Amino acid sequence: MRGVGLLGAIELAAEPAARRAFDPALKAGARLAQLAQEQGLIVRAMGDTIAFCPPLIITEAQIDELFARFARAMAALERELPASGNGSDGSNGANQAAA
């Protein structure tokens, strides 16, 4: 059977209020997926949208751990990205996400 389970996603944005995406050359979503894997978390990057697919039997404690690992990956991404979230305005929106 396909499609059984829990699915959620976070869309990364350089400037969420303006719905401004990261410069595609930064490949922020792909890099975040790599950093998440370094934290022991497997996610799927679809452009700058990060998908989570935990099993339906996940516990609340495991969900907390999932997001703690993701937060560490996001912090690492924020440190890596250039001062500009898109290469032009000096803001770094890595700590911003629009769901």
- Domain ranges (residues) in the chain: 8-81
> What does the mean pLDDT of the chain come to?
84
Q: Which of 59, 55, 49, 60 is nearest to 4 (CA)?
A: 55
Residue 57, C-beta contacts closer than 8 angstroms, at least 6 positions apart: none
Summarize the confidence of residues 31-39 as an average pLDDT.
98
Check whether domain 8-81 has CATH 3.90.1530.10, yes or no: no
Whether 31 shows a pLDDT value over 80: the answer reads yes
Summarize the confidence of residues 30-59 as an average pLDDT.
95
Residue 94, C-beta contacts closer than 8 angstroms, at least 6 positions apart: 12, 28, 74, 77, 78, 81, 85
As a dihedral over the C-alpha atoms of residue 28, residue 51, residue 14, residue 32, rounded to 10 degrees, the angle is: -30
pLDDT tens by residue, 64-96: 999 999 999 999 999 998 765 554 444 444 444
Whether 10 shows a pLDDT value over 80: the answer reads yes
Is pTM, for the whole model, over 0.85? no
